[in-house]
Structure 1
Amino acid sequence: MTTTIYGIKNCDSMKKAFTWLKEAGVAYEFHDYARRGIDEDTLKRWAAHTGWEKLINTKGLTWRGLSDAEKSNLYEARAYQLMIAKPSLIRRPVVERDGQLMMGFDPTRFDEFFNQ
């Protein structure tokens, strides 16, 4: 099974996810937004599972740093543009495994996701 985890290396949620994966013996590929960015096709694929609104981390510093004009009137195409320009807006981690998708870190959800 192929597992890819997307995020930013120094994020606390990512560190917890990396630790969980290591302890569980799950092999994975890491896609670092800071080095590799993200493309619109990937965001659209994820949005098909979750809706584009759930991709955006509205609790993070990057979201809080956006202007009120950027936050209001947010629509799908504009959201993709913002996430491509500022990948730290994307909720972390995003985990893809054999066509399945999970967002955010929670040990119980990771157990369920990886032990299906």
Structure 2
Amino acid sequence: MNIQIFGIKKCQDTRKAERFFKERGIKYQFIDLTIKGMSKGELKSVSQQVAWGDLLNSSGKLYQSQYKTHMVRDIGEALLQNPMLLNTPVVRNGTAATVGYRPEIWKAWT
């Protein structure tokens, strides 16, 4: 298993995702989106498993203040330029991926 958690330390669902894997003794890599975003390849891999609309956090402060008045034509490019627009956590296991707190799916991975 190669678990990656993309998230923000202040996000409650990200902390719950980390706790889920810690409690089961599963090693994971945490990528803090405030420091580093997803690569183009990682985002492409995730977008094959998750709808673009689910990846974009349209209820977040950043989207509301900067993107709401403009139509986001290329969601992928917007997410690459500003990873804080992602819904968190994004959890990857190889080619499989989820957005948000999804323990029912993660259990199937273990």
TM range (shorter): 0.7 to 0.9
Structure 1: 5+ residue runs without aligned partners? none
Q: Which has the higher helix share?
A: 1
The residue correspondences of 1:89-104 to structure 2 (distance < 5 A) are 89-104=85-100
Which amino acid is 1:52 matched to? W
Asked if 1:23 corresponds to 2:23, the answer is yes
- TM-score if structure 2 supplies the norm length? 0.82
Q: Is the 8 A contact 2:6 2:30 kept in 1?
A: yes
Asked if 1:80 corresponds to 2:80, the answer is no
Deviation of 1:67 (Å): 4.0
Between 1:103-112 and 1:10-19, the stretch displaced more is 103-112
The percentage of aligned residue pairs carrying the same residue is: 25
Q: Distance in 1 between matches of 2:37 and 2:45?
A: 16
Q: Is the 8 A contact 1:44 1:52 kept in 2?
A: no
Give 3-state SS (helix, strand or coil) of 1:36's partner.
coil
Between 1:88-97 and 1:51-60, the stretch displaced more is 51-60
Give 3-state SS (helix, strand or coil) of 2:92's partner.
strand
CA RMSD, Structure 1 to Structure 2 (Å): 1.9
Aligned CA distance change for structure 1 residues 2 and 107 (closer, same or farther; 3 Å): closer
Q: Number of residue pairs matched?
A: 110
Cα deviation 1:6-45 (Å, max 9, x = unaligned): 1122211111111111112111011122222222232222
Which amino acid is 2:58 matched to? T
Cα deviation 1:47-76 (Å, max 9, x = unaligned): 122232221112222222224332x2x23x
Cα deviation 1:61-97 (Å, max 9, x = unaligned): 2222224332x2x23xx21222123212111111111
Match for residue 38 of structure 2?
38
Structure 2: 5+ residue runs without aligned partners? none
